[in-house]
Structure 1
Amino acid sequence: MTLHADLHIARDTGFRLDVELTVEPGEVVALLGPNGAGKTTALRTLAGLLPLTAGLVRLDDSVWDEPPRVFVPAEERFAGVVFQDYLLFNHMSALENVAFGLRAQGAPRAFARTRARDWLSKVGLSAFERTRPRSLSGGQAQRVALARALATEPGLLLLDEPLAALDASNRLHIRSELGRHLGEYSGHTLLVTHDPLDAMVLADRIVIIESGRVVQEGPPAEVARQPRTDYVANLVGLNLYRGTASGTTVDVAGGGRLTVAEPADGAVYVAFPPTAVSLHPTQPEGSPRNCWPVTIADIEQHAHTVRVRLDGTPPVLADITPAVVAELELAPGTRLWATVKATETTTYPA
């Protein structure tokens, strides 16, 4: 069974969603993108909460949406959904919440409660059967919502920002728990998120969408290593440039020239981490192959390092220590020289 979705949505606002997705059995696909990219719209079409303007949603031989002839409503789709705010029923206990989907499918009360009890045990919440959602922590509520979605044994599991409501102290543990449950799930999983770490840790494959279109997809390591848009480069913390290569020289689109380690020809991307950038008060002499004048546009603290945004040809991000900031007396407007060794760059076809 393969999920195939060719999603086309046209809104009166002018926004268009044109995304094609496939999800194999047992595979977790993360749909990643900035706010307004169309991630939640895509999830809602798969869930049956929003009809397509054109296209197709098919799980194996079952067609769920194919305008204008076919539209299967949400309650008749073989899908489970975990929403960002979990949408648990506050007047029901955790047990009753998990049993709800089974009861909605017509399962006898005793059977639904037994299955719900089993699922609460699987997610480590047997002691909270009688607890109502308002008395649960964020992590506990997330696990109840996941148990409710999986108890119906859906063919498709849709997760809409499932960790967004958690605080940092719980997020690491719950992400690990969620990953374990997804690893045991044999159906198709689509995870919608704006958090690159959630996508990198939980997904087998990442699909990046911007402005309603797919701009990159692949295994997490490949996406992190070879970003293809500025948005993706910012997510994974790399400087990214598109240009035209001739041997080890790349003329950067928008101005500037970089020397790279491996010869190439034609349209390429050049990427390197901000940690590869060194800053100097005067033009240095010696081994660095790339050296150009820059001006500090912005300085901000990033964990134990300082991220410096530099205007130049090309512009560049540099990560330096607070000691370097103090030593060079850096401030917005300061003029410097940036250097990057050719061996620190990665080049790949555009």
Structure 2
Amino acid sequence: MDAHLVVDRGTFRLDVRLRVAAGEVVALLGPNGAGKTTALRTLAGLQALTDGHVTLDGRDVDRPAGRVWTPPERRRIGVVFQDYLLFPHLSAVDNVAFGLRRQGLDRRAARASARDWLARVGLAGYADRRPRQLSGGQAQRVALARALAVRPVALLLDEPLAALDARTRLDTRAELQRHLAAHPGPTLLVTHDPLDALVLADRLVIVEGGQVVQEGDAVTVTARPRTDYVARLVGLNLHRGQASGHQVRIGDAFTLTTVDRVAGDAFVAFPPAAVALHPSRPEGSPRNTWPATVVGIQRHGDNLRVRLDGPLPVAADVTPAAAAQLRLSPGQPVWAAVKAAETRAYPAGPG
């Protein structure tokens, strides 16, 4: 699947290039309003392109400049929507058979194939149930079976796990991973959940404001975030400054020492767990220390995440015991420290 998606919608403009190889799963991530759903809808033929193209299996299905447009039902694209959009009046087997009937199969053959697909997703005994009689995880699997049953060239998934509770999500994610691995065509997964993306996708594409801001495999993206959104997504503090050797000057009044040698415009990233808090200025090994003010505290897993303001605004993860010992509270002054060895510096140019 090769696409250049250009959509003008009022003051918003989507301009995104996507290429997904056969058998590859690409996750499209971004904050609300970034253009993820618009991208999926244009690929599915539910939203008109202003410019650009959508090419599937070497054939244009949408190219405004050439006056080429293929209706959604003829694009051979399987779509699993966030709310699944199962037909409430049809049984599970007839929901799955619907697309097959539209392709011209007679009712008996379509239902036989649909039953086979329900068995593949572990729902052989649920064929006659209607959507209201299914759990969220079961409905998601019926929607996936319906999308795969028509043997699509490409598969589009729009937040496929968002409607599930945490336990069901865990089990369904593992099941979905198995089915995506068996799908021979390209798959685009639209999600805001980094865990879904990291578990299910071979490659990540990050969009903000209708533009691609970063792409690559999970290791590259998580190790070297290039925007605040990506840094928050992967749980890192991120700052941008001017580097010279092992020094990165951030703003007008603060310089971080790093183990990496960089020159010019650069990013510095480090995890909240690398930030140590002290009641007074620490002595010893940390070369990066600065006064800070606690602006917020919230639970983060087994620890507490402390938001700090100061010359270098950061998040720090501390244990509840450490927080109690420091008597942390909003407005409290502390000293923050991060070892040079805990930071990563890298060029801020394109990449």
Range into which the TM-score falls when normalised by the shorter chain:
over 0.9
Which residue does the alignment assign to 2:284?
A: 286
- 1:56-84 CA-to-partner distances (Å, cap 9, x unmatched) read 11113211111141111101111010000
**Which of 285, 292, 296 is matched with 2:294 structurally?**
296
Deviation at 1:255, TM superposition (A): 4.7
Tell me if structure 2 keeps the 8 A contact 1:254–1:314.
Answer: no
TM-score scaled to structure 1, two decimals? 0.98
Q: Distance in 1 between matches of 2:75 and 2:111?
A: 22
Aligned to 2:217: 219
Partner of 1:136: 134
Residues 5-55 of structure 1: CA deviation (Å, up to 9, x unaligned):
10111112x011010000000000000001110000000000000110011
Alignment of 1:113-132 (within 5 A): 113-132=111-130
Structure 1 residue 84 and structure 2 residue 87: aligned? no
Mapped to 2, the partners of 1:165 and 1:253 lie a distance apart of 42
Q: How many Å separate the matches in 2 of 1:271 and 1:113?
A: 54
**Which sections of structure 2, spanning at least 5 residues, go unmatched?**
none
Asked if 1 retains the 8 angstrom alpha-carbon contact of 2:57 and 2:153, the reply is: no
Q: Which AA in structure 2 matches 1:212?
A: G
2 CA distance for matches of 1:242 and 1:113? 58
Match for residue 323 of structure 1? 321
RMSD over aligned Cα atoms: 0.9
Q: Deviations over 1:115-163 (max 9, x none)?
A: 1111011001000111111000000000000000000000010000000
Kindly indicate whether the alpha-carbon contact (under 8 Å) linking 2:260 and 2:346 is maintained by their aligned counterparts in 1: no
Corresponding residue SS for 1:313: coil
TM-score (norm: length of structure 2): 0.97
> Which whole-Å CA distance do the structure 1 matches of 2:161 and 2:228 have between them?
25
Counterpart of 2:330 in 1: which secondary structure? coil
**Aligned partners of 1:215 and 1:229 also within 8 Å:** yes
What stretches of structure 1 move > 4 A for 4+ residues in a row? none
Checking the alignment, whether the CA contact within 8 Å between 1:295 and 1:311 is kept in structure 2 is: yes
Determine the structure 2 residue equivalent to 1:50.
47
Offset at residue 311 of structure 1 (A): 0.5
Counterparts of 1:187 and 1:61, CA distance in 2: 13
- The correspondence for 1:153, drawn from 136, 151, 154, is 151
Cα 1:255–1:91 change in 2 (3 A) is farther
The 8 Å contact of residues 78 and 148 in structure 2, kept in 1 or not, is answered as yes
Q: Distance in 1 between matches of 2:315 and 2:185?
A: 41
Query: Tell me, what secondary structure is at the counterpart of 2:176?
Result: helix
For 2:64, the aligned partner's letter is P
State the distance in 1 between where 2:207 and 2:338 align. 31
Q: Aligned AA for 2:248?
A: V
Unaligned runs of 5+ in 1: none
CA deviations over 1:271-324 (Å, ceiling 9, x no partner): 110000001111111110101111111111112110011001111110001111
C-alpha separation in 1, matches of 2:246 and 2:133: 62
Return the alpha-carbon distance in structure 1 between the equivalents of residues 154 and 57 of structure 2.
11
Q: Which residue of 2 aligns with 1:66?
A: 63
**Which of 313, 323, 338 pairs up with 1:340?**
338
Tell me: CA distance 1:58–1:253, structure 2 relative to 1, closer, same or farther (3 Å).
Answer: farther
Say if 1:260 and 1:346, in contact at 8 Å, map to a contact too: yes
- Pairing 1:199–2:197 present: yes
In the TM superposition, what whole-angstrom CA distance separates every residue of 1:187-233 from its partner, at most 9, and x where no partner exists? 11000001010001000000000111000000112111111100010
Residue of 15, 21, 34 corresponding to 1:37? 34
